[in-house]
Amino acid sequence: MTIDGLLRQGLLDPTDARILIAHALQCSRVQLVIRALESLSEPALENIQRLFQRRLAGEPIAYITGQREFFGLPFHVTPAVLIPRPETELLVELAARYLPEGGSAIDLGTGSGAVAVALAHLRTEASMTASDISEAALEVAKQNAASNKVSVQFLHSDWYGTINGEFDLIVSNPPYIVAGDAHLSQGDLRFEPLSALTDHQNGLDALSRIVQGAPAHLKAGGWLLMEHGYDQADAVQALLRDAGWESVQSWPDLAGILRVSGAHLPVN
């Protein structure tokens, strides 16, 4: 069977099929077009069919290929980490804006390292630290920092548990889905690490812990930026105001959804 013939069978969404075939043949999408009429060997066809079956069972493309692009950079992903999503790029953009020249930042709950690595890539003069409670996630994050040639210090920590010192910026994309939410059993979320998706409570527990612990690890005037759920902006702003933060605000993603909220510590 040829590549074109396999695509014409319509077993998968055409984009998904091309990605998986290119991955199996270790070629680019452009090379795939050039090789469209090339006959596939039996081992190659069997490998592609196995990949197709995994996708048909609902497994995310990123886990099948082990790759996902984020902020224009290639990232290795495994089922030990969340799959980086486009809306999280807003968190990186804001972090780059509020991190002072030559400043220091920490990414709490870094997962694949997407935010920390992208920020370190954008702000090469800054000092970047990232932490996670999952050792498996940290191994993935370290690999991504190395492959993208950026310097990030990685720490094993349950939020602020082993964090020492003060930073100019704290950034985080913590678990914020409410326990029992129907979305946890749908789509890609079925395959992603549950503890990275939900706080197993009301969706605000991790966010509250980050807000409450931040003053001990931020310099005066330092910023805290957090990604949260589509309907949590008001609640997160309330957490910040109740804790005495200043310039409390939220920012919309490209879909117009208030996706990130933050504030800074009082200077005096």
At 201, the amino acid letter reads Q
DSSP-based three-state secondary structure for 252:
strand
Q: Quick check: 208 pLDDT over 90?
A: yes
Q: Quick check: 33 pLDDT over 90?
A: no
Clarify whether residues 84 and 13 are in a common domain.
no
Clarify whether residues 36 and 123 are in a common domain.
no
Q: Which is it for strands 167-172 and 104-108: parallel, antiparallel or unpaired? A: parallel
What is the pLDDT at residue 243? 96
Q: Quick check: 74 pLDDT over 90?
A: yes
Domain membership flag for residue 70: no
Clarify whether residues 123 and 212 are in a common domain.
yes
Average pLDDT over residues 2-7: 89
Q: Are 36 and 3 in contact (CB under 8 A)?
A: yes
Clarify whether residues 215 and 107 are in a common domain.
yes
pLDDT tens profile 113-161: 999 999 999 999 999 999 999 999 999 999 999 999 999 999 999 999 9
Question: b or e along 64-77 (b: 16 or more beta carbons within 10 Å of the residue's beta carbon)?
Answer: bbeebebbebebbb
| Residue 159's CATH number | 3.40.50.150
- Residue 35: domain span: 3-57
Write out the two tokens for 89: 């790029």
Q: Do you know the residue count of the chain?
A: 268
Return the half-sphere exposure (C-beta side, CA atoms, 13 A cut-off) of residue 163. Answer: 27
What is the pLDDT at residue 21? 93
Closest CA to 13 of 67, 50, 55: 55
Clarify whether residues 94 and 207 are in a common domain.
yes
How many domains does one find in the chain? 2
Clarify whether residues 125 and 181 are in a common domain.
yes
Predicted confidence band of residue 261 (pLDDT cuts 50, 70, 90): very high
What whole-number distance in Å separates Cα of residue 35 and Cα of residue 38?
Answer: 5
pTM of the model: 0.93
Q: Quick check: 1 pLDDT over 90?
A: no
Q: Quick check: 38 pLDDT over 90?
A: no
Average pLDDT over residues 167-175: 98
Predicted confidence band of residue 61 (pLDDT cuts 50, 70, 90): very high
Clarify whether residues 98 and 191 are in a common domain.
yes
Clarify whether residues 50 and 82 are in a common domain.
no
Residue 169, C-beta contacts closer than 8 angstroms, at least 6 positions apart: 95, 98, 99, 103, 104, 105, 106, 218, 222, 223, 224, 225
Q: Are 160 and 217 in contact (CB under 8 A)?
A: yes
Q: Quick check: 11 pLDDT over 90?
A: no
Q: Quick check: 268 pLDDT over 80?
A: no
What is the pLDDT at residue 107? 98
Return the half-sphere exposure (C-beta side, CA atoms, 13 A cut-off) of residue 212. Answer: 8
Q: Quick check: 28 pLDDT over 90?
A: no
Q: Where are the beta strands (DSSP E) in 98-212?
A: 104-108, 127-132, 153-156, 167-172
What whole-number distance in Å separates Cα of residue 13 and Cα of residue 219?
Answer: 49
Domain membership flag for residue 69: no
Domain membership flag for residue 64: no
The mean pLDDT of the chain is 95
